[in-house]
Amino acid sequence: MDSGAGMIYPTISYNHVTPEVIRIALLEPKSVNTNGIRLTEEAIYGNMGSEAHILDKAHDGNVLIYYINPTIPNTFQRISRPNKTLRFTYSMAAVSAGAQMALYSVSNDGSTRVHESSY
């Protein structure tokens, strides 16, 4: 993503054509103010309800979490996590339930580890 601007494509609907194929209907792209945030190639994207969340790797190897909600002003935001550090891994994922998000990863032995349950 450019350090000053970006684009989002809001989804208006989707349906499963087959178990392997999902048809998505998109609105016209919208400009986004990225607040000077530049994502790394390691960034992991996820959609959670009407918000999109992005987990990215900080310079010190910890996780940075960003979000954007297309229903409010299109500004890329960083989620503040005072006194919370978590090492970034490539097997990391996030799920949400209401206003909470859980970050988890899969270790080399196949076990799942939940890192935190709210942000």
pLDDT tens digits, 52-64: 788 899 999 888 8
> Is residue 71 within 8 Å of residue 11, measured between CB atoms?
no
CA distance 78 to 34: 10
Q: How many CB atoms lie within 10 A of CB 67?
A: 16
pLDDT digit string (tens) for 97-118?
Answer: 666 777 778 777 877 777 665 5
| pLDDT value for 4 | 58
- In tens digits, the chain (119 residues) has pLDDT values of 445 567 877 777 777 778 888 888 888 888 888 888 888 888 888 776 667 788 899 999 888 888 887 777 778 888 877 667 777 887 787 777 666 777 778 777 877 777 665 54
Average pLDDT of the residues of the chain: 77
**Dihedral angle computed from the Cα positions of residues 108, 42, 63 and 30, in that order, rounded to the nearest 10 degrees:** -140
Token match 């989620």: residue? 79
Domain extent for 52: 5-116
Question: Domain count of the chain?
Answer: 1
Return the closest-CA partner of residue 33 out of 79, 80, 70, 81. Answer: 70
